[in-house]
Amino acid sequence: MRYAIHVDMDAFFASIEQLANPRLRGKPVIVGGRPGTRSAVASASYEARAFGVRSGMPSHEAERLCPQAIFLPGNSSRYLHTAVRLYRVLERFSPRVEPASIDEAYIELHTREDIREVARGIQAAVESELELSASLGVSDSKYLAKVCSSFSKPRGMTVLMRADVPYVLWPRPVNALYGVGDKTAARLHALGCRCVGDVARLSTRTLEQEFGVYGATLHELASGRDRWRVVTTREAADAKSIGHEHTLGRDVYERSRLEALLCGLSEKVARRARRAGMAARRVVVKQRDPQFRTITHGRKLARPVDSAEEVFAVGCALLDETRFWENGVRLLGVSLQLLVRTDSVRQLRFEFDSHGARSSPIVDRIRSKHGEHAIGLARTLEAGRRSRRGPRHPSFQAPREAFD
Partner 1 sequence: MIETIDEPIEVLARFDKGRMAPFRFRWNQTVFRIAKVTGNWEDREGQHRRYHFSVLTENNDYFELRFHTGDLTWILSKTSLEA
Residues at the interface with partner 1 (CB under 8 A) = 16, 19-24, 27, 70, 72-73, 75, 77-78, 80-82, 367-371, 374, 391-396, 399, 402-404
Answer whether 311's CB lies under 8 Å from 266's CB. yes
> How far out from the chain centre does Cα 218 lie?
23
- The residue annotated as part of the active site, out of 17, 63, 104, 108, is 104
Q: For 4, phi and psi rounded to 5 degrees?
A: -120, 135
> Measured from the CB of residue 78, what is the shortest distance to partner 1 in angstroms?
4
User: 3-state class of 357 per DSSP?
Assistant: helix
Which residue lies nearer to partner 1 by CB, 24 or 329?
24
> Measured from the CB of residue 167, what is the shortest distance to partner 1 in angstroms?
43
Nearest to 148 by CA among 189, 116, 101, 183: 116
CB-neighbour burial class of residue 327 (10 A; exposed 0-12, middle 13-18, buried 19+): middle
How far is it, in rounded angstroms, from Cα 382 to Cα 72? Answer: 29
> How far out from the chain centre does Cα 58 lie?
17
Which residue lies nearer to partner 1 by CB, 37 or 75?
75
Which residue lies nearer to partner 1 by CB, 23 or 349?
23
> Measured from the CB of residue 72, what is the shortest distance to partner 1 in angstroms?
6
How far is it, in rounded angstroms, from Cα 168 to Cα 196? Answer: 10
Examine the residue annotation and report whether 104 is marked as an active-site residue of this protein.
yes
Answer whether 59's CB lies under 8 Å from 30's CB. yes
How far is it, in rounded angstroms, from Cα 284 to Cα 306? Answer: 14
Which residue lies nearer to partner 1 by CB, 70 or 168?
70
Which residue lies nearer to partner 1 by CB, 347 or 395?
395
How far is it, in rounded angstroms, from Cα 92 to Cα 133? Answer: 18
How far is it, in rounded angstroms, from Cα 326 to Cα 330? Answer: 11
> Measured from the CB of residue 32, what is the shortest distance to partner 1 in angstroms?
13
Active-site residues, by number, are 104
